[in-house]
């Protein structure tokens, strides 16, 4: 008859190995759990043009968004811009109500217009970014749009555009420092 509880040298080695393995497993699991964001965060899929708002490992909201168009704008041999949404881990750096868009040089070059001075009045556009903007750094924003029919398509200059309803929700839910995963 085979007894599974019989203590043999082999069993002792196996048991101590099992204990060592289990304690290492627990230690690594603890380290990995620590890395997971505790508060709510947002994930943006720039291929499917979708966003997922995640809290406690559960998707609390998801929907369509617009991301970078992958247009490479060339202005002669010296200037070029690529309009793609960056990929990686980011944080919300600032939150703003009724944001004003300060048009960069490429916005004029893309429209075939002469580039004005750095603080010229034609650089400032009101209402085009929707009611809220959340900054991710380097000029990338999560904002609204007046072109709501394009939501779900890759049409932006790298920013993430949401419809009014989702923008209001994200503005309310995400705080400064909240994690943003873009891919």
Partner 1 sequence: MILPELSPFKMKPGSLKKLALVFLAIVFALVLVQLITAPYKVNKQWQGVNTENYDYEHPQDSLVRHLAYLRALDIGSTQDSIYLIISLPDSSVSIAINGVKFYSTHIDEYDIDNFLTSISTSTVFNQFQRPLHSKEVAATIIKEPIKVKIAPKNAEEAAKMVTLPDSTIFENAIINYATENGMLLTLEGSNTEGWFIQSWNQLIDRLTSITATAYRIVVGIVHFEIYEYQPELTIKIDNVALTSIYRALPKEPQIVIYF
Say whether residue 181 binds partner 1 (CB under 8 A).
yes
Site for partner 1 (CB under 8 A): which residue of 55, 69, 96, 168? Answer: 69
Site string for partner 1, 18-57 (x = CB under 8 A): x--xx-xx--xx-xx--xxx-----x-xxxxx--------
Q: What is the dihedral sign for C-alpha 165, 158, 147, 48?
A: negative
Within 141-160, the residues that bind partner 1 by CB under 8 A are: 150, 152-155
Whether residue 90 contacts residue 46, with contact meaning beta carbons closer than 8 Å, is answered with no
Look up residue 29 and give its two tokens. Answer: 């699991």
Shortest approach of partner 1 to residue 148 CB, angstroms? 14
Say whether residue 111 binds partner 1 (CB under 8 A).
yes
Task: Give Cβ neighbours of residue 12 (< 8 Å, ≥ 6 apart).
Answer: none
Site for partner 1 (CB under 8 A): which residue of 12, 60, 89, 148? Answer: 89
How far apart (Å, rounded) are the C-alpha atoms in residues 139 and 71? 17
How far apart (Å, rounded) are the C-alpha atoms in residues 167 and 105? 26
Within 1-20, the residues that bind partner 1 by CB under 8 A are: 13-14, 17-18
Say whether residue 59 binds partner 1 (CB under 8 A).
no
How far apart (Å, rounded) are the C-alpha atoms in residues 174 and 178? 6
Q: Rg of the chain over CA atoms, in angstroms?
A: 25
Site for partner 1 (CB under 8 A): which residue of 73, 107, 128, 168? Answer: 73
Query: Cα 111 from chain centroid?
Result: 28
How far apart (Å, rounded) are the C-alpha atoms in residues 63 and 140? 20
Say whether residue 107 binds partner 1 (CB under 8 A).
no
User: Which chain residues interact with partner 1 by CB under 8 A?
Assistant: 13-14, 17-18, 21-22, 24-25, 28-29, 31-32, 35-37, 43, 45-49, 69-76, 79, 82, 84, 87-89, 109-113, 150, 152-155, 179, 181, 183
């Amino acid at each position: 008859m085979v007894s599974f509880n019989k203590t043999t040298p082999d069993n002792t080695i196996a048991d101590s190995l099992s204990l060592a393995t289990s304690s290492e497993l627990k230690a690594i699991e603890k380290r990995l759990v620590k890395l997971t964001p505790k508060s709510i965060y947002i994930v943006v899929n720039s291929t499917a043009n979708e966003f997922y708002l995640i809290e406690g490992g559960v998707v609390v909201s998801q929907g369509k968004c617009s991301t970078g168009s992958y247009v490479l704008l060339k202005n002669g041999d010296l200037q070029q811009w690529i309009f793609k949404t960056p990929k990686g881990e980011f944080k919300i750096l600032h939150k703003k109500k009724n944001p004003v868009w300060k048009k960069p040089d490429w916005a004029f070059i893309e429209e075939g217009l002469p580039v004005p001075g750095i603080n010229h009045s034609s650089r400032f556009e009101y209402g085009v970014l929707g009611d809220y903007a959340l900054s991710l750094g380097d000029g990338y924003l999560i904002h609204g749009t007046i072109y709501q029919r394009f939501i779900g398509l890759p049409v932006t200059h790298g920013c993430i555009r949401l419809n009014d309803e989702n923008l209001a929700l994200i503005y309310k839910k995400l705080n400064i420092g909240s994690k943003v995963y873009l891919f």
